[in-house]
């Protein structure tokens, strides 16, 4: 019994570390800098995937591990940034939002239909749109208001530049979930068995 429990914990730790590392790898893809200090990157795909595949708790843990590594100074953010200064920059709202986005995406994914690969893909798109777009962007807007001293209306307007790309990331997440659901039908999407 304890060996099985230990194996499950080890498996969970590996999954958390894997999705934290995946988010770091997504930061290696070149970013597109915008004039107001927040770049367009692929890293926001990380919380979407973590939430869909690991569920709320482990998705949260994966993004918390990623951010702990960033805070420790590892250059894991797009453009090779890291350190505590990243949490006081205009991007900080989005960065903190990674944790919330993964948790919300996972929570929603665990409650939506996942019985077939198509259902899982549609659910992944919806969960990613709510957690990885709505919640992440809300957090990002708060960061822009706080650390770039922008009024709400300007922060909302500037944030709109990210929405089309993030909706494409939701579609990519859905395609990945579809492929995994077909190839590995026993994977507990959203952290829950079907």
pLDDT digits (tens, 9 = 90+) for 10-67: 889 999 999 999 999 999 887 777 665 566 789 999 999 999 999 999 999 999 999 9
Q: What is the pTM of this model?
A: 0.92
Instruction: Look at 61-70, 84-93, 185-194 and tell me which has the smallest mean pLDDT.
Output: 185-194
Q: Which of 41-45, 102-106, 169-173 is predicted with the least confidence, judged by mean pLDDT?
A: 41-45
With a cut of 80, say whether residue 2 has pLDDT above it.
no
Please tell me the predicted confidence (pLDDT) of residue 139. 97
What is the dihedral sign for C-alpha 188, 77, 98, 86? positive
What is the per-residue pLDDT for 30?
A: 73
Angle between helices 2-26 and 45-71 (to 10 degrees): 90
102 touches 52 (CB < 8 A)? no
Give 125-153 pLDDT, tens digit per residue: 999 999 999 999 999 999 999 999 999 99
Contact 161, 133 (CB under 8 A): no
Per-residue pLDDT at 180: 97
> What is the pLDDT at residue 37?
58
Per-residue confidence (pLDDT) for residue 174, from 0 to 100: 98
Q: Tokens in use for 98? A: 């990674």
Q: Indicate if the alpha-carbon torsion angle 70, 51, 17, 23 is positive or negative.
A: negative
Alpha carbons 44 and 94: distance in angstroms, whole number: 8
Which CATH code is given to the segment(s) 2-191?
Answer: 1.10.1760.20
């Amino acid at each position: 019994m304890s060996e099985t429990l230990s194996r499950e914990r080890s498996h969970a730790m590996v999954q958390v570390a894997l999705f934290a590392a995946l988010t770091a790898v997504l930061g290696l893809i070149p970013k597109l800098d915008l004039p107001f200090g927040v770049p367009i990157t692929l890293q926001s795909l990380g919380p979407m995937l973590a939430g869909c595949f690991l569920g709320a708790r482990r998705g949260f843990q994966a993004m918390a591990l990623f951010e702990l590594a960033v805070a420790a100074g590892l250059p894991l953010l797009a453009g090779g940034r890291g350190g505590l200064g990243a949490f006081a920059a205009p991007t900080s709202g989005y960065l903190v939002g990674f944790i919330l986005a993964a948790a919300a995406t996972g929570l929603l994914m665990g409650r939506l239909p996942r019985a077939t690969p198509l259902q899982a893909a549609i659910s992944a798109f919806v969960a990613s749109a709510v957690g990885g777009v709505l919640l992440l962007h809300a957090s990002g807007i708060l960061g822009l208001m706080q650390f770039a001293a922008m009024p709400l209306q300007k922060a909302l307007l500037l944030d709109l530049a990210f929405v089309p790309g993030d909706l494409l990331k939701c579609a990519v997440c859905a395609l990945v979930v579809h492929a995994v659901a077909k190839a590995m039908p026993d994977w507990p999407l959203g952290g829950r068995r079907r």
